[in-house]
Amino acid sequence: GAVVSQHPSWVICKSGTSVKIECRSLDFQATTMFWYRQFPKQSLMLMATSNEGSKATYEQGVEKDKFLINHASLTLSTLTVTSAHPEDSSFYICSARSWTSGEETQYFGPGTRLLVL
């Protein structure tokens, strides 16, 4: 199946710093990628839809200036958490949209755990 990678897998940073998370589709091109956030023991919440070559679409309540998304190529989307604070600590998961034999599927990355001290 299709593979999506994320880097880094975990990161610890100081409050006030910015953190960039990469999401790559390794063996397919993805014009659309999604970014989710997952709190412990909870479900995934969609943060934004990342479209190659255009601005991301953010879900209601998600600060676009706080969570910067760049989808510069068909295989790479990045999420930058700017001026991170402890409440931004979470598990961030991306997914990439793939078309195979006329069917659409989302493939998920392994996630990035962010801890802001």
Q: Where are the beta strands (DSSP E) in the chain?
A: 4-7, 10-13, 19-25, 32-38, 44-51, 57-58, 67-73, 76-81, 90-100, 103-108, 112-116
The least CB distance from residue 115 to another protein, in Å, is 13
Q: Is 111 an interacting residue with respect to another protein (CB under 8 A)?
A: yes
Radius of gyration of the CA atoms of the chain, in A: 14
Q: Which of 31, 32, 80, 82 binds another protein (CB under 8 A)?
A: 32
Contact 52, 58 (CB under 8 A): no
Q: Is 110 an interacting residue with respect to another protein (CB under 8 A)?
A: yes
Q: Is 101 an interacting residue with respect to another protein (CB under 8 A)?
A: no
Q: Is 29 an interacting residue with respect to another protein (CB under 8 A)?
A: no
Where does this chain bind another protein (CB under 8 A)?
1, 4, 6, 32, 34, 41-44, 46, 49, 93, 95, 97, 103-111, 113
